[in-house]
């Protein structure tokens, strides 16, 4: 096994199985808990793919549908099987990945074997696909009834033209009902081979013994040489709607204001981290005007913000609720036009973020997910931590120059009339 040198006193080993599975083992001697994540870079954004010259158009939400179906096999419900051996298993589909994972306070072999077995086995039947459709449609409707979910989804549709953020992770009722066994099989074959996936394990057990378990469980996995290519639509730089109002069953009006910028960086993770740091300097309690914004009702206690950095664009979005939406828009625009970058605040935030990240290294479940996620960003997690440690105030000053407010999108979600 290869060792990853890091400045965090973490024992990190990596190896690649004969099937092509890149595996991390983070050794935590003295701890009781083990955790593992087995994941694929196949998320809701990956609607169109190409392999060996063939372009494949997936049904929207097929990633989430596939996650549902893999939790069943001939022996029954996978979650019940994890529970029977004292482990807690689960999965989630995001826009960019699908992860299957477990946490366990006992010996790792049984839950790790179960994880590797069920994810690498496609036992879905046509009848089970039909039965699942109603379950997923109900789940989709439940999420759609949440005002914050509707606000986020409609915010993407306000600012973006074609980029797949405009589609819900679960899909649409139409796409769910149109999904077939063949659709799931095609998506699985393209994206669930070990050479495309990653396995991240955090455990107190001997790494060599854990490696033997992984190699034994994957020895019959077929290695796939040719890889799938993800294809994304060309996204225009200008926002789709500068202003839009929709009417929903909400008690209090909700709103969002987004700024769409060109992406001109070289590291998605670094730039997103810096944008978020800059926003916190200006739109949190660090800003002396924050309390007065709250007092006058321009922002509420549900006020939030975030950044999406993609190769095609940067989207900075603010969310709020209340009746003072004109004032909300006014203060956000004014602050974005005169962003503050303060050396003392930068030092304070950097220490806080970095300290929280180092503290999280002792949480096996979070660490396994973070290691797997950063792997798909072509950076191991400990390099990400070192990147944060090496940030300078000049980096914040540079990111500040990239913020423009001339390409914005305002969405108001009002009460049904």
**pLDDT per position as a tens digit, 183-232:** 999 999 999 999 999 999 999 999 999 999 999 999 999 888 878 999 99
Higher per-residue pLDDT: 324 or 378? 324
Place 76 in a pLDDT band, splitting at 50, 70 and 90.
Answer: confident
Note the pLDDT tens digit of each residue in 263-289: 988 889 999 999 999 999 999 999 999
Decide if pLDDT at 1 tops 80.
yes
Q: Is 208 exposed, middle or buried (0-12, 13-18, 19+ CB in 10 A)?
A: exposed
Quick one: average pLDDT of 90-111?
A: 96
Q: What average pLDDT is seen over the chain?
A: 94
Phi, psi angles (nearest 5°) of residue 218? -105, 5
pLDDT (0 to 100) of residue 266:
85
Q: What angle do CA 131, 192, 65 make, to 5 degrees?
A: 25
132-158 per-position pLDDT tens digit? 999 999 998 888 888 889 999 999 999
- Give the angle subtended at the CA of 18 by the CAs of 125 and 367, to the nearest 5°: 80
> What tokens were used for 305?
């913000």
Residue 154's CB: how many other CB atoms inside 10 A? 19
Residues 15-64 have pLDDT tens digits of: 999 999 999 999 999 999 999 999 999 999 999 999 998 999 999 999 99
417: confidence class by pLDDT, cuts 50, 70, 90: low
Mean pLDDT check: name the lowest of 67-76, 194-203, 234-243: 67-76
């Amino acid at each position: 096994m290869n060792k990853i040198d890091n400045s965090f006193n973490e024992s990190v080993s990596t190896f690649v199985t004969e099937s092509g599975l890149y595996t991390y083992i983070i050794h935590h001697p003295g701890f009781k808990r083990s955790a593992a994540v087995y994941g694929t870079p196949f998320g809701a954004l990956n609607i169109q793919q190409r392999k060996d010259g063939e372009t494949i158009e997936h049904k929207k939400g097929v990633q989430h549908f596939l996650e549902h179906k893999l939790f069943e096999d001939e022996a029954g419900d996978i979650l019940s099987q994890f529970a029977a051996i004292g482990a807690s298993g689960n999965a989630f589909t995001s826009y960019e990945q699908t992860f299957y994972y477990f946490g366990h306070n006992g010996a790792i072999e049984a839950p790790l074997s179960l994880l590797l077995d069920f994810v690498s086995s496609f036992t879905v039947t046509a009848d089970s696909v039909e039965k699942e459709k109603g379950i997923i449609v109900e789940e989709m409707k439940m999420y759609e009834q949440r005002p914050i979910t509707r606000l986020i989804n409609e915010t993407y549709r306000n600012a973006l033209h074609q980029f797949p953020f405009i589609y819900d992770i679960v899909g649409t009722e139409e796409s769910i009902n149109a999904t077939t066994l063949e659709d799931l099989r095609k998506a699985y074959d393209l994206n669930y081979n070990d050479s495309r996936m990653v396995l991240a394990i955090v455990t107190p057990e001997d790494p060599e013994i854990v490696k033997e378990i992984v190699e034994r469980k994957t020895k019959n996995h077929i290695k796939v040489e040719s890889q799938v290519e993800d294809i994304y639509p060309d996204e225009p730089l200008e926002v789709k709607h500068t202003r839009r109002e929709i009417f929903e069953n909400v008690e209090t009006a909700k709103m969002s204001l987004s700024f769409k910028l060109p992406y001109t960086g070289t590291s998605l993770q670094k730039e997103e981290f810096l944008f978020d740091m800059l926003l916190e300097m200006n739109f949190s309690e660090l800003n002396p005007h924050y309390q007065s914004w709250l007092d006058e009702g321009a922002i509420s206690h549900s006020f939030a913000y975030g950044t999406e950095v993609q190769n095609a664009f940067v989207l900075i979005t603010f969310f709020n609720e209340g009746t003072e939406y004109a004032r909300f828009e006014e203060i956000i625009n004014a602050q974005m036009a005169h962003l503050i970058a303060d050396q003392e605040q930068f030092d304070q935030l950097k220490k806080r973020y970095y300290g929280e990240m180092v503290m999280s290294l002792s949480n096996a479940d979070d660490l396994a997910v973070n290691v797997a996620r950063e792997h798909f960003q072509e950076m191991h997690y400990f390099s990400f931590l070192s990147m944060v440690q090496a940030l300078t105030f000049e980096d914040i000053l540079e990111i500040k120059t990239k913020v423009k407010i001339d390409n914005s999108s305002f969405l108001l979600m009002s009460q049904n009339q």
